[in-house]
Structure 1
Amino acid sequence: MPSRFAAIDFGASSGRVLTGALQDGVLDLREEARFANRPQRLPSGLHWNLMDLFAQALDALRAAGPLSGVAVDTWGVDYGLLDDHNRLLGLPYHYRDGRSDAMVERAFERVPSAVHYAATGIQTMPINTVFQLLADEGSAAFNAASRLAMIPDLLALWLSGELANERTNASTTGLLDARTGEWAYDLIDGLGLPKRLFCDLVEPGTRLGTALPGHGLGALPVYTAPSHDTASAFAAAPITGEGCAILSSGTWSLLGLELPEPVLTNTAHGFNLTNERGVDGTTRLLKNVMGLWLEQECARTWGTSDHAALFAAAADAPAQTAPLFDPDDPAFLPPGDMPGRITAACTATGQTPPEGQGATIRAIVESLACKYRLVLDLLAQASGREITKIHVIGGGARVALLCRRTAEITGCEVCAGPVEATAMGNLLVQARAAGELSSLEEIRAVALASSDCVTYEPSADRAAADATYERFLDVTGLVAPAAA
């Protein structure tokens, strides 16, 4: 009987437990459980309900039957503070809480932005761990803390009793040296953060130990995944050649290139690109774009969970008259009335706001596709690579309208799939750690063989695409890079 591994895969809007076994070069993937990830607003702020997520994951693992390994991947930047007995000091905050909004200025007063970027290569966003830690300064939890555990580190600790900081998620902190993959202690000192918080770093595929007896899982090996979900997703992206970009499309859109080394130039810094660590020491040069969060919050505001119906209505709405806006406007980051915010953004730029649900979602789709084109231009200039193809992975690969418009607006061929790239990457890295695969290339070959990908070709009518893009740049005030 083939080994079956389990992936605990927590995204910003849902949690999943999937299992997978290799059979004849194909991953037999099964969804064991899927559940909502609902943050809780408490008097102290917006927090993740990690105890509920962890309990549901354990239930799914027990129901899945005999397993050969388990690993955790989640979103980046968020963390728990632990005491010297690895006990959690308060519920981890949600990155959309807003407490760190004012901390960017504080950080750059202590260490200039250029110095910070030269060390870590991380895109400046208020949600980054470094800024959240500065917001924690002076709190009882911060003063008592002995260790920092990123969210997947914390969940792996609860599973196995062993704590380690996994490198791919550590790279999202803005405190990891982009060149060496070690903690940037000079930067940490300059920021006034205590070194004691940052513990030993490990690579994806490290065996931490076995599940604690109280979980009822037997002697189940617990591994580190590429624990930043984007790192797991990129590992399963079937890229071919240097002209391929990867778009991990979900609550966030993470659009980038896989490179052998970080790009820490003034150009990359000026474009606010990020260098995150991937499997086998690779670098993901990418940019975060707000993503399907915009549609998800619209759906929540409207009281519907029928996302397919919303995108179907959007497909019937005209593209030519859809108002456009910058998806990364800070106003869109917190939870709230997203349709109202989109209306305000369009009104502020002299456009007629979208009327109705279909038109609103169409405006989101058109704006995202245009933002992707801008990001591709930035990536091409910073990396010196010509980009001709985009692999869309994750839940957004199911959204045919967005994939089609991305191909048409960017002029790139779009290959959509695999949808469950994050869980696949998690599972296949475990399989490699157990000796069933030997290389990242083999992982990707299995991922490709296990996926039904859909191809979208760019439109031959470049004039219409260019006109939409120019209108986007005009109303947003964003500037495309000059041709090299």
Structure 2
Amino acid sequence: MKNASLAVDIGASSGRLTMGSIVDGELVLEEIHRFENGLIKKKEHLCWDIDHLFNEVKVGLKKCAENGLAPTSIGIDTWAVDFVLLDENDQLLTDAVAYRDPRTDGMMEEVEQIIPKEMLYAQTGIQFQKFNTIYQLHYLKKHKPDLLEKATSFLMIPDYLHYLLTGVKTNEYTNATSTQLVHAKSKKWDRQLIEQLDLNYDMFLPIQMPKTKIGKLKKSLVEEVGLDMEVILPATHDTGSAVIATPEKGETIYISSGTWSLMGVESFHPVTNNIAMNYNFTNEGGIDGRFRFLKNIMGLWMIQEVKRMYDDIYSFSEFVKMAEETEAFDSIVNVDDARFLKPDNMVEEIRGYCRETNQVIPQSPGEVAKCVFDSLVEIYKQTVEQLEEVCGKTFNKINVIGGGTQNAMLNQLIASGTKKNVHAGPVEATSIGNIVAQFIALGELKDIDEARTIIKDSFDITLYKGSE
């Protein structure tokens, strides 16, 4: 082994630092530190505690030093769309407001009055979601224009965390595409769209691609944590990193299954026609200039919230077991209905939807859980059909990656519902994808194809049969 790399993967509910190295031709992972994340209320908004997140990154680095570990490089990935603004002195002008905050209510409709929907999709290829960065920025332009006037740097969450590590400001490509402000073909900020919205084009930085080495840790940070290493951009959009870890080199549908379900295919060209727009597919940036042609689906967020509404007295595995024992219950909800984005009570919201659509109302925890799982499968089936229509081909398998690979019931339901074999694994796809991007930059791996071969050989992949 020549190098070890450290992946910092931060999701909506937790974060982790994982070190990866290649030993005897296999990728070996070692978890260094795990910590909690969640929304906090600051003033009138739901926010991420960005100071807490960076402090936890430093805790993980100190643990490495204490354990005699000296990774060569580090890279950070997080969720998409959220950002901070810095002033001319590189001081924070904004909190890290979260995409689940209701400030964007009505903003998408207002932007459509400025930029026709068809034009916006043709140029960016990005799915219309009310929390996209473009609508968050439009809110600021409308309600806090003085703040925007002071902004000289726009940094997405992983961009800002990389800045705190190095003092170097960057906008990384895969996360930048989620703003709905990057031109799909040029892969650069779309000046026309930005100026149509009367935003300051100069606050957006030149876009950097995954595998870019951006610098070393700041000297003060080296002294604080006891380590020095190179900072390399992974695909900083966590789904971008996860899809790198899809263990298939051939054509396959993937589901990055976690808080969100990101379901789609890898493409070398954006698909921005009206059919793709009407089905609300997105063309998010991937590594090596690829595109993740996919659909964002609500995902396991719903069962996470159901668990919370039952005061966390049941584990996720217990919810699965109870759902399996509730075979006769078959009510379905539309998981992508905006009412499920951030309800006060997820269980009551599910019951309300069933009541309003004249379906049997789930009562027991098992019935609620089965309703969530069956509803996810229903939209996965629909998405498969739409993908095959838009792409003009039939896909034979589905790769499930991420935390949802551990839900055997859901994976078998996907296989049975879509009549396609489901290959589930690896679990830690995002950290793996983050690490292998760094390895390619360091010359430890040749390219994505070699990385995927090693990933397939290194981690258990479970087969769920949907067709013979």
- TM bucket normalised to smaller: over 0.9
- Aligned equivalents of 1:156, 1:86: Cα separation in 2: 14
Residue by residue, what CA displacement relative to the aligned partner does 1:1-49 show, whole Å, maximum 9, x if unpaired?
5421101100111111111011122111011111211210122210001
Residue 455 of structure 2 is aligned with which of 434, 447, 451? 447
C-alpha distance in 2, partners of 1:347/1:43? 36
Q: Is the Cα–Cα contact under 8 Å of residues 225 and 426 in structure 1 kept in the other structure?
A: yes
Amino acid at match of 2:33: A
Q: Which residue of 2 aligns with 1:43?
A: 43
Counterpart position of 2:214: 208
Paired residue type of 2:114: R
Structure-1 residue corresponding to 2:338: 330
Match of 2:320 in 1: 311
The code of the aligned residue for 1:171 comes to T
Question: Does the 8 Å CA contact 2:420/2:467 hold for their aligned counterparts?
Answer: no
Separation in 2, partners of 1:335, 1:93:
18
- Letter of the aligned partner of 2:234 in structure 1? A
Please, which of 67, 73, 90 is the counterpart of residue 69 of structure 1? 73
1:378 to partner: Cα distance: 1.1
Matched, 1:222 2:244: no
Match of 1:177 among 183, 195, 198: 183
Aligned residues, how many?
Answer: 458
| 1:143 positional shift | 2.3
Check whether the contact 1:380–1:387 (CA below 8 A) recurs between aligned residues.
yes
Instruction: Note if 1:254 corresponds to 2:278.
Output: no
Are 2:159 and 1:161 equivalent residues in the alignment? no
Equivalent position to 1:288, from 296, 304, 316: 296
Contact 2:249 / 2:452 at 8 angstroms: preserved in 1?
no
- Residue 136 of structure 1 deviates from its aligned partner by 1.0
1:34 equivalent in structure 2? 34
- Of 132, 135, 156, the residue aligned with 2:136 is 132
Match of 1:145 among 144, 151, 155: 151
- Which whole-Å CA distance do the structure 2 matches of 1:61 and 1:4 have between them? 13
Q: Deviations over 1:101-154 (max 9, x none)?
A: 211011111110000000000000001000010011142432211111011101
Q: CA deviation at 1:240?
A: 3.8
Q: Partner of 2:181: helix, strand, or coil? A: coil
Displacement after TM superposition at 1:459 (Å)? 6.0
1:235 to 201, 225, 244: 244
Q: Deviation at 1:170?
A: 0.4
| 1:10/1:73 contact within 8 Å kept | yes
**1:323 and 1:351 in contact (8 A); partners too:** yes
Identity of aligned pairs, percent? 36
Pick which of 328-337 and 421-430 moved more: 328-337
The Cα of 1:312 is off from its aligned counterpart by 1.5
1:114 and 2:118 aligned: yes
Trace 1:325-474 onto structure 2 (pairs within 5 A).
325-458=333-466
Residue 225 of structure 1 aligns to a residue whose secondary structure is coil
Contact 1:211 1:217 in 2 (8 A): no
* Pick aligned residue for 1:190 from 177, 196, 200: 196
**Aligned-partner Cα distance in 1 for 2:233–2:87:** 22
Q: Counterpart amino acid of 1:334?
A: K
Shift of 1:402: 0.7
Contact 1:176–1:182 under 8 Å retained in 2: yes
**1:89 and 1:382 mapped to 2: Cα distance?**
42
Question: What stretches of structure 1 of length at least 5 have no aligned partner?
Answer: 461-484
The 8 Å contact of residues 306 and 347 in structure 2, kept in 1 or not, is answered as yes
Give the corresponding residue for 1:99: 103
Q: Is the 8 A contact 1:2 1:23 kept in 2?
A: no
For 1:336 and 1:386, locate their aligned partners in 2 and report how far apart those are by CA, in whole Å: 40
> Aligned-pair distance for 1:335?
4.5
Task: Give the C-alpha shift of residue 370 in structure 1.
Answer: 0.8
Instruction: Encode CA deviations 1:394-449: one digit per residue, 9 max, x unaligned.
Output: 00011111101000111111000000010000001101101111111011112111
- AA aligned opposite 1:97: D
Corresponding residue SS for 1:258 = strand
The aligned amino acid for 2:399 is H
Partner letter of residue 358 of structure 1?
G
The one-letter code of the counterpart of 2:430 is T
Mapped partners of 1:240, 1:211: distance in 2: 34
* Alignment partners' CA distance in 2, 1:315 and 1:156: 44
Amino acid at match of 1:312: K
* Rounded Cα–Cα distance in structure 1 between residues aligned with 2:410 and 2:104: 32
3-state SS of 1:264 partner = coil
What letter matches 2:321 in structure 1?
A: A
Report the secondary structure of 1:21's partner residue. Answer: strand
| Deviation of 1:85 (Å) | 2.8
- Does the Cα contact within 8 Å between 1:298 and 1:339 map onto a contact in 2? yes
On the 8 A contact 1:166/1:202 being kept in 2, the answer is yes
What's the CA shift for 1:275?
0.4
Following TM superposition, by how much is the alpha carbon of 1:383 offset from its aligned partner in structure 2, in angstroms? 1.4
The SS at the match of 2:234 is: strand
- Would the aligned equivalents of 1:370 and 1:410 in 2 still touch at CA under 8 Å? no
TM-score normalised over the length of structure 2: 0.96
Could you give the per-residue CA deviations for residues 360-385 of structure 1, whole angstroms, max 9, x where no partner exists?
A: 11110001001001011111111112
Find the counterpart in structure 1 of residue 25 from structure 2: 25
**Secondary structure of the corresponding residue to residue 391 of structure 1:** strand
Secondary structure at 2:387 match in 1: helix
Contact 1:6 1:61 in 2 (8 A): no
Q: Which whole-Å CA distance do the structure 2 matches of 1:205 and 1:335 have between them? A: 38
- Aligned with 1:80 (options 80, 84, 90): 84
- Gaps of at least 5 residues in structure 2 are none
Structure 2 counterpart of 1:474: none
Match of 1:205, SS state, is: coil
The SS at the match of 2:194 is helix
**Paired residues of 1:248 and 1:394 also in contact (CA < 8 A):** yes
Structure 1 residues 4-19: aligned runs within 5 Å: 4-19=4-19
Task: Give the deviation of 1:348 after TM superposition.
Answer: 0.6
* Paired position in structure 2 for 1:482: none
TM-score normalised according to structure 1 size: 0.93
User: What is the CA–CA distance in structure 1 between the aligned matches of 2:2 and 2:213, rounded to whole Å?
Assistant: 19
Q: Is the 8 A contact 2:212 2:232 kept in 1?
A: yes
Q: What residue identity is the alignment partner of 2:82?
A: D
1:355 shift after superposition: 1.5
